[in-house]
Structure 1
């Protein structure tokens, strides 16, 4: 990556065969159109960069890794047509996860804060994920907005967690703490927050120090599952629900009550349950 393009929602550094990507889309790191486009561009660029063996994703915001997909993203869909054409077998939200799952480099998420919905799907799509025990959390909150996950969550969680735990996570919409996420298999492990940076750096350097053909061989021998049929089914159900009156009403009211603000996102599940109950 000698001539790095200019990104506005990503900070990119490459050192010692490791690319470090910091997600930076204030105020709460929602997965909006520009961030989706830049993630597509970056991962496509890195795909052919054989000098990079490991990609570490972290957040500029200690509270929010990726809050969720931007609730206002329907207003941007016309501008994302070119991105949609890059991954014609899946929708644009699933496309981020599928790029991540099929990246030739080893992808690692360093999770210090919260990742919900599209953000939680991103974590599940990475090869490895490590989280801060005291502060990190994951949640698939889509059902609280009258929809189902539309970025691969149903398929990624079924594969990682098993059917019964996936159903628990998907149907409750609850935020899961790091220790529970590790026990369920959503992440690799929870570590003390004070040790997270050093721990992830150690894992990344161990992998990056291996001969490149060994890293490639291991990834080829442990390939991601082909989830195309399930992703298509997920998209069909999601698209049918998200176009209805109820999700639009719930999301609009959630925005009015503080969703996508720092205060509102800290207790988003409670906010969404209050909206749904008309409280």
Structure 2
């Protein structure tokens, strides 16, 4: 690998990671060494981590491409916010599809190994909120219709981004949606407490958020989390056909219909920031730190069995 092509900030992060795991969200810890982990597991490609494709002036595609797990941290949040700003500024966009180029993962979860200050020190977004709830609110209020195509795991912030979109379609065989955070000792930060009860009902929302299990595509469809669970071989063609159909319609009619639907169904924006604040507070508590230590020791945020079975590993802690 040619290190001259890797950003200085990424190199510094890799060096720190190989010397010993970084503190979990700024907390002083004595986490076990992971110096033996493959270098590829700790580096992102130097290409764009979130790729914007204009399939036509009316139909845009946003693809998460941050292998190996599609982890989302402060830099990715900024990148996503920039893309959302482009969508907001272009009145010709009628439909946006969010998907993933990383096998097995739509988005694994938020970066739980970065310094706390990198997340808390971010400048507020246009709504005045922290950039995480800000970008979720802005996605939900786009004039264009938004579709999330879920193939692989959509956990934590991946699930929260899916919930912020207008429609969700999942691979029946490969999708897993999950809000694992309570199982790891902290509160989700991207607004699912505000969105899920309105989408699936209070009881099922509590099951998903506090039970903290993974739901396959078929069960997610039954609960109303996704619009449809489709055979994996049909997912891409179905989503593309729907997006192409919407892109052929009148943009003002789409925007007007969405405005009225939003008024009837979206949570108030004021419900979003408290979730982020609760996440930041709860992830620093000793109980959360203890659970995160165990998960890091087992392989959190590295390719392998923990990330593939995160809901099971959070339940193992005693």
TM-score by length of 1: 0.90
Is it true that 1:14 corresponds to 2:57 in the alignment? no
- 2:312 maps to which of 263, 270, 275: 270
Flag the 1:21–1:233 CA change in 2: closer, same or farther, 3 A: closer
How far residue 205 of structure 1 moved from its aligned partner, in angstroms, is: 0.7
The DSSP-based 3-state class of the residue aligned with 2:148 is strand
Instruction: Quote the Cα distance in structure 1 between the aligned partners of 2:94 and 2:279.
Output: 35
Moved more, 131-140 or 210-219: 210-219
Instruction: Quote the Cα distance in structure 2 between the aligned partners of 1:60 and 1:233.
Output: 32
Instruction: Quote the Cα distance in structure 1 between the aligned partners of 2:94 and 2:63.
Output: 17
Moved more, 265-274 or 166-175: 265-274
User: Corresponding residue for 2:19?
Assistant: none
Residues 21 and 58 in structure 1, CA contact (< 8 A), matched pair in contact too: yes
- 1:131 maps to which of 166, 170, 181: 170
Flag the 1:42–1:95 CA change in 2: closer, same or farther, 3 A: same
The DSSP-based 3-state class of the residue aligned with 2:272 is helix
Instruction: Quote the Cα distance in structure 2 between the aligned partners of 1:124 and 1:268.
Output: 20
Residues 147 and 241 in structure 1, CA contact (< 8 A), matched pair in contact too: yes
1:90-239 residue pairs with structure 2 within 5 A?
Answer: 90-223=129-262, 225-239=266-280
CA RMSD of aligned residues (A): 1.9
The DSSP-based 3-state class of the residue aligned with 1:27 is coil
Is it true that 1:36 corresponds to 2:77 in the alignment? yes
Deviations 1:179-227 (A, max 9, x none): 1111111111101100001000011011000012221221122115242
User: Corresponding residue for 2:88?
Assistant: 47
Instruction: Quote the Cα distance in structure 2 between the aligned partners of 1:107 and 1:173.
Output: 26
- 2:102 maps to which of 35, 50, 61: 61
How far residue 127 of structure 1 moved from its aligned partner, in angstroms, is: 0.5
Larger Rg: 2
Residues 155 and 178 in structure 2, CA contact (< 8 A), matched pair in contact too: yes
Instruction: Quote the Cα distance in structure 1 between the aligned partners of 2:88 and 2:121.
Output: 21
How far residue 273 of structure 1 moved from its aligned partner, in angstroms, is: 2.2
Residues 66 and 114 in structure 1, CA contact (< 8 A), matched pair in contact too: yes
How far residue 232 of structure 1 moved from its aligned partner, in angstroms, is: 4.0
Instruction: Quote the Cα distance in structure 2 between the aligned partners of 1:12 and 1:80.
Output: 26
Flag the 1:199–1:146 CA change in 2: closer, same or farther, 3 A: same
Instruction: Quote the Cα distance in structure 2 between the aligned partners of 1:18 and 1:54.
Output: 5
The DSSP-based 3-state class of the residue aligned with 2:259 is helix
Q: How many pairs are equivalent?
A: 269
Flag the 1:139–1:211 CA change in 2: closer, same or farther, 3 A: same
Is it true that 1:86 corresponds to 2:134 in the alignment? no
Residues 52 and 60 in structure 2, CA contact (< 8 A), matched pair in contact too: yes
How far residue 269 of structure 1 moved from its aligned partner, in angstroms, is: 1.6
Flag the 1:187–1:254 CA change in 2: closer, same or farther, 3 A: same
Instruction: Quote the Cα distance in structure 2 between the aligned partners of 1:78 and 1:107.
Output: 26
How far residue 92 of structure 1 moved from its aligned partner, in angstroms, is: 3.1
How far residue 85 of structure 1 moved from its aligned partner, in angstroms, is: 4.4
Instruction: Quote the Cα distance in structure 1 between the aligned partners of 2:125 and 2:308.
Output: 35
Q: Structure 2 regions of 5+ residues with no counterpart?
A: 1-45
Instruction: Quote the Cα distance in structure 1 between the aligned partners of 2:119 and 2:201.
Output: 36
